[in-house]
Amino acid sequence: MVEVWHTENEYITYLWRGFCMSTPKDLRYSEEHEWVKVEDGKVRIGISHFAQAELGDIVFVELPQVGDEIKTDDPFGSVESVKTVSELYAPISGTVVEVNADLEDSPEFVNESPYEKAWMIVVEPADASEIDKLMTAEQYEEMIAE
């Protein structure tokens, strides 16, 4: 059960399994727990605080190459934790224009800083209207509370 206890400013802060977590309000979220941030017509993608907590300690991140095409709801990479390997699913379609190479040597950034240091890829969207179909922070919080 998720107990939301602070929703002002830029984040929704909540308590989940005894851990304090936050969800930035300026991002959009997929049902597979990826987040997207629109920046100058491009989209930065990562996984949510909730997702990294569910996975546990991340030990390896596999990402696509610059120039690769990704398609909505298809796998574009994976994260390996001490518990499991989980695929990353594309929240939108487009062309990868940047990859976070820091995650190759520092996969722990996913646990430490899922919204800042641990972004995974930047995509040139094929159809920017796909972003509007993703969940707001409030809708995402409702989904994970179920």
Q: Mind listing the pLDDT tens digit for each residue in 76-126?
A: 999 999 989 999 999 999 999 999 999 999 999 999 999 999 999 999 999
Query: What is the pTM assigned to this prediction?
Result: 0.87
pLDDT of residue 22: 74
Q: Which residue has the higher pLDDT, 43 or 138?
A: 43
Strands (E), the chain: 2-6, 11-16, 19-24, 28-29, 34-39, 42-47, 58-62, 69-70, 75-81, 85-89, 94-99, 121-125
